[in-house]
């Protein structure tokens, strides 16, 4: 009969693991942002010199570039007649940076049409 090897000795625990601190529900999700898509569907406006990314405003009034992760999401927000192009997030940021736009909004839930009414002399 072969000789049995003795089982390796386990080190004695020096201290028990401390209890983790409670984390509010959803807080862990805020710590790790989702990965950026490799390509975005960017709404564009057409002009005499080609296409330009369509810029919008956040609820706080800051200008932002807008992009969508799917064509379906773009059509749902802006309609099927909206012209679009495919860009990487880095390329879109590079295009709008000279305009002072520093934010990129992915898949906005609501996009309103620009206000085309102009009031002279303030509120009516």
Break the chain into its structural domains and give their ranges.
36-106
pLDDT of 113 above 60: no
The β-bridge relationship of strands 40-47 and 84-87 is antiparallel
Q: What is the mean pLDDT of the chain?
A: 78
Query: Distances from the Cα of 100 to the Cαs of 9, 11, 30, 49, 94, in angstroms?
Result: 64, 60, 26, 20, 11
Q: What is the pLDDT of residue 108?
A: 87
pLDDT at position 2, please? 62
pLDDT, residue 55, reads 93
Question: What pTM, to 2 d.p., does this model score?
Answer: 0.61
Question: pLDDT per residue over 36-63, tens digit each?
Answer: 678 999 999 999 999 999 999 988 889 9
For 89-112, write each residue's pLDDT tens digit. Answer: 999 999 999 999 999 999 987 665
**Burial class of residue 95 (count of CB atoms within 10 Å of its CB; 0-12, 13-18, 19+):** middle
Q: Which residues of 82-94 are buried (b: 16+ CB within 10 A; e: fewer)?
A: bebeebebeebbe
Check whether 9 has a pLDDT greater than 70: no
Percent above pLDDT 90 for the chain: 48
Distances (CA, A) of 107 to 29, 37, 56, 124: 18, 11, 12, 35
**Residue pair 83/46 in contact by the 8 Å Cβ criterion:** yes
- Phi, psi angle pair for 42, to nearest 5°: -110, 125
Please report the pLDDT score of residue 58 as a whole number. Answer: 87
């Amino acid at each position: 009969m072969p000789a049995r090897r003795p089982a390796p000795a386990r080190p004695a625990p020096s201290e028990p693991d401390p209890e983790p601190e409670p984390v509010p529900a959803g807080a862990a999700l805020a710590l790790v942002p989702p990965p950026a898509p490799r390509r975005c569907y960017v709404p564009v406006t057409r002009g005499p010199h080609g296409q330009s990314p369509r810029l919008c405003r956040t609820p706080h009034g800051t200008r932002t570039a807008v992009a969508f992760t799917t064509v379906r999401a773009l059509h749902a927000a802006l309609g099927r007649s909206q012209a679009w192009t495919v860009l990487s997030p880095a390329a879109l940021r590079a295009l709008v940076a000279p305009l002072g736009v520093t934010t990129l909004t992915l898949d906005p839930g609501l996009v309103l049409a620009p206000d085309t009414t102009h009031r002279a002399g303030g509120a009516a």
